[in-house]
């Protein structure tokens, strides 16, 4: 995992995600999940491309089941996007990178329009 993607867990969820002033992309994943491994390089690329504009986190659902449960994560990978502490977009399953970029660009445009 690159240094641009931070580990989210029960202990830092509040400060890193809920209180973040940036748009936060959280990849809910697990070690044993094949599709999660397919999404991981895309998540890394997006973290690099949007460095400074988007906070990218990964949350291992096996290690933080209470956080995953709070957002009704039923299947992984699930990518949730948070703005002002609220989930605003959700992508479930393996998606092509342009689909991620479309959601991110839309959220960042909304954020800069509201700034």
CATH T-level fold of 5-114:
Glutaredoxin (3.40.30)
Query: Residue 52: how many CB atoms within 10 A of its CB?
Result: 7
Among all chains, which residue has been given the structure tokens 């329009």?
113
At 111 the pLDDT is 80
Residues 9-37: tens digit of each pLDDT: 999 999 999 999 999 999 999 999 999 99
Question: Could you tell me which residues are beta bridge partners of residue 92?
Answer: 78
Catalytic residue among 36, 43, 59, 68: 36
28 is an active site residue = no
At 2 the pLDDT is 56
pTM of the model: 0.94
Catalytic residue among 5, 33, 39, 42: 33
Tell me, what DSSP letter sits at residue 83? E
Residues 43-101: tens digit of each pLDDT: 999 999 999 999 999 999 999 999 999 999 999 999 999 999 999 999 999 999 999 99
92 is an active site residue = no
């Amino acid at each position: 995992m690159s240094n641009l993607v931070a580990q989210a867990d029960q202990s830092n969820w509040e400060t890193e995600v809920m209180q973040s002033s940036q748009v936060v992309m959280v990849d809910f994943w697990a070690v044993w999940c094949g599709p999660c491994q397919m999404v991981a390089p895309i998540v890394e690329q997006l973290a690099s491309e949007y460095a400074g504009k988007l906070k990218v986190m990964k949350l291992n659902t096996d290690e933080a089941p209470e956080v995953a449960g709070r957002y009704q994560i039923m299947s992984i990978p699930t990518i949730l996007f948070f703005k002002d502490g609220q989930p605003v977009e959700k992508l479930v399953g393996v998606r092509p990178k342009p689909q991620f970029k479309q959601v991110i660009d839309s959220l960042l445009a909304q954020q800069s329009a509201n700034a």
